[in-house]
Amino acid sequence: MQDAAISVQGLVKRYGEIEAVAGIEFEVPKGELFGFLGPNGAGKSTTISMLCTLVRPTAGRAFVGGYDVVSERDAVRRHIGLVFQDTTLDGYLSAEQNLRLHAELYGMPREHVPARLQEVLEMMELWERRKTLVNHFSGGMKRRLEIARGLLHSPRVLFLDEPTIGLDPQTRSSIWSYIRRLETEQDITIFLTTHYMDEAEYCRRIAIMDRGRIVALDTPDALKASVGKDRVQIHTENDEATIVALRERFGLDAQIAENLVTFGVAEGEQFVPRLFAELGQQIRSVNLSRPSLDDVFMSYTGKTIRDAEASSTDQLRQMATMWKRR
């Protein structure tokens, strides 16, 4: 708790019947890159909105930078940077004007502004484009500008809600390289949400969220380890005989998947040599894979993240229109 940048206790948000966030607890130490992973509708944005003081919790408490998000709202706002899921730039202003506006809104001492403005724009490689109207920016550039703006007032905690949503894979990976640079070069805590498994891997720790609850929270490696078994796939001369041999000699239950004999086993690296020595079948190739976050999600929620997405898409659409109505 001593170094907690974010501390959340029993946080709940209800919208009428819907329990968007159903009592979550977690803590993010200073300087960590922490991720919320979950399908659409899991409650990630609602959590961010509560932490950023935009939405009042129905129950529970949360502290950001040591400040209470309900009773010390202004203090929280001064110490956080926020990049929303949907862009919030003024397209009719230039990149620089957007940042200046932000500096004024945040009451930054005027003498700090020019240097800091240049610093964040250079960090996001937008300095040369500072005079360009934001409407002429690509999606990736807008995102980078938003991150630059979120950093401008030197926040202690930067919140990024789905920073790469709607971007092409190349731009996504470039955004990620910026985020990871921030993590190493800046004294800042980063809290982000994503529903991309591969991106969650980059976080120091992740919380897996499903239907308003945190179902698991740990480092990506620990989470994968908690699933237990590695996946082994082997290509053999005689699959039938191999399956029988696996059952008889090792007590393993193997199946044919993707035309390969497939089975799960704990500590796969140590097992593979034994396999060669004792199987008694010709092995042409071996493929050993650690469990992915997909497997982790599956084991904690009983479904794949894509299934979870599909079931909540309709709900989400409704919500999107509701948000706009506000």
Partner 1 sequence: MSVTATPAAPQHPAQGHRVAATHVPSGGLRGELRAVKIVWWRELIRFSRDRLRVVTSLVQPFLFLFVLGEGLSSIAKEGTHGVDLKTFIYPGILCMAVMFTAMFSAASIVWDREFGFLREMMVAPVKRSSLVLGKCLGGATVAGFQGLIVIAIAGLVHVPYAPVMMLAVFALQLLLAFSITAFGVMAAARVSQMQSYMALMQMAVMPMFFISGALFPISGLPTWLSVLNRIDPLTYAVNPMRQVVFAHLTINAAARRALTPAVTWFGWAVPGLLEAGVVLVLGLVMLGIAIAEFSRVE
- Return residues touching ligand ADP (CB under 6 A): 15, 18, 20, 38, 40-46, 315, 319, 322-323
Task: In angstroms, give the least distance from the CB of 156 to partner 1.
Answer: 7
Question: From edge to edge, which strands make up the β-sheet containing 157-161?
Answer: 80-83, 157-161, 189-194, 33-37, 205-210, 213-218
> How far is the C-alpha of 1 from the C-alpha of 5, rounded, in Å?
9
User: Beta strand 33-37 with 189-194: parallel, antiparallel or unpaired?
Assistant: parallel
Please identify, using beta-carbon distances, which residue of 50 and 200 lies nearer to partner 1: 50
253 Cβ contact partners less than 8 Å away, ≥ 6 residues apart:
246, 247, 263
322 touches, from partner 1, Mg ion, ligand ADP, none (C-beta below 5 to 8 Å by class): ligand ADP
Helix (H, G, I), strand (E, B) or coil at 8: strand
E strands within the chain?
A: 4-15, 18-29, 33-37, 59-64, 67-68, 80-83, 157-161, 189-194, 205-210, 213-218, 230-236, 255-257, 260-265, 283-289
Bridge partners for 67 per DSSP: 64
71 touches, from Mg ion, partner 1, ligand ADP, none (C-beta below 5 to 8 Å by class): partner 1
Q: Which ranges in 190-233 belong to alpha helices (H)? A: 197-200, 220-227
Among the listed ranges 81-89, 182-190, 301-309, 318-326, the one in contact with Mg ion (CB under 5 A) is 81-89
Q: According to CB under 5 A, which residues from 162 to 221 bind Mg ion? A: none
Please identify, using beta-carbon distances, which residue of 151 and 234 lies nearer to partner 1: 151
Please identify, using beta-carbon distances, which residue of 15 and 92 lies nearer to ligand ADP: 15
Report yes or no: 81 and 5 within 8 Å, Cβ to Cβ: no
Please identify, using beta-carbon distances, which residue of 121 and 192 lies nearer to ligand ADP: 192
Please identify, using beta-carbon distances, which residue of 46 and 233 lies nearer to Mg ion: 46
Q: Is 45 an interacting residue with respect to Mg ion (CB under 5 A)? A: yes
Task: In angstroms, give the least distance from the CB of 134 to Mg ion.
Answer: 22
| Residue 64 C-alpha from the chain's centroid | 18
79 touches, from partner 1, ligand ADP, Mg ion, none (C-beta below 5 to 8 Å by class): partner 1
State the residues that interact with partner 1 by CB under 8 A: 1-5, 7, 30, 49, 52-56, 63, 65-68, 71-75, 77-79, 82, 84, 86-93, 97, 100-102, 104-109, 112, 116, 153-156, 324-326
